[in-house]
Amino acid sequence: MRGKIAMPILFSFLFLSLSPAFSTPLDYQTLVLSPLPKPHTLSWTQQDSESLTLPDPSQTPTTTLSVQLHHRDSLSSLESTPDTLFTRRLQRDAARAKTLTDAVKLAAKANVSRARGKGGFSSSVTSGLAQGSGEYFTRIGIGTPPKYSYMVLDTGSDVVWIQCSPCKKCYTQSDPVFDPKKSTTFAGVTCGSPLCRRLDSPGCNNRQMCLYQVSYGDGSFTFGEFSTETLTFRRIRVKNIALGCGHDNEGLFVGAAGLLGLGRGKLSFPNQAGRRFGNKFSYCLVDRSASAKPSSVVFGESAVSRTAVFTPLLTNPKLDTFYYLGLTGMSVGGVRVKGITESLFKLDSTGNGGVIIDSGTSVTRLTRPAYVALRDAFRAGAADLKRAADFSLFDTCFDLSGKTVVKVPTVVMHFVGANVALPASNYLIPVDSKGSFCFAFAGTMSGLSIIGNIQQQGFRVVYDLAGSRIGFAPHGCD
Kindly list the catalytic residues: 154, 358
What whole-number distance in Å separates Cα of residue 428 and Cα of residue 452? Answer: 14
Q: Residue 295 gets which letter from DSSP?
A: E
What whole-number distance in Å separates Cα of residue 442 and Cα of residue 345? Answer: 15
AA identity, residue 436: S
What whole-number distance in Å separates Cα of residue 323 and Cα of residue 316? Answer: 9
What whole-number distance in Å separates Cα of residue 167 and Cα of residue 182? Answer: 15
Q: Do 375 and 408 contact (CB within 8 A), yes or no?
A: no
Q: Residue 340 gets which letter from DSSP?
A: -
User: Please, what is the Cα angle at 258 between 255 and 82, to 5 degrees?
Assistant: 35
Q: Do 395 and 375 contact (CB within 8 A), yes or no?
A: yes
Picking from 90, 74, 246, the residue whose alpha carbon sits closest to that of residue 174 is 74
Q: Residue 367 gets which letter from DSSP?
A: E
Residues in the chain: 478
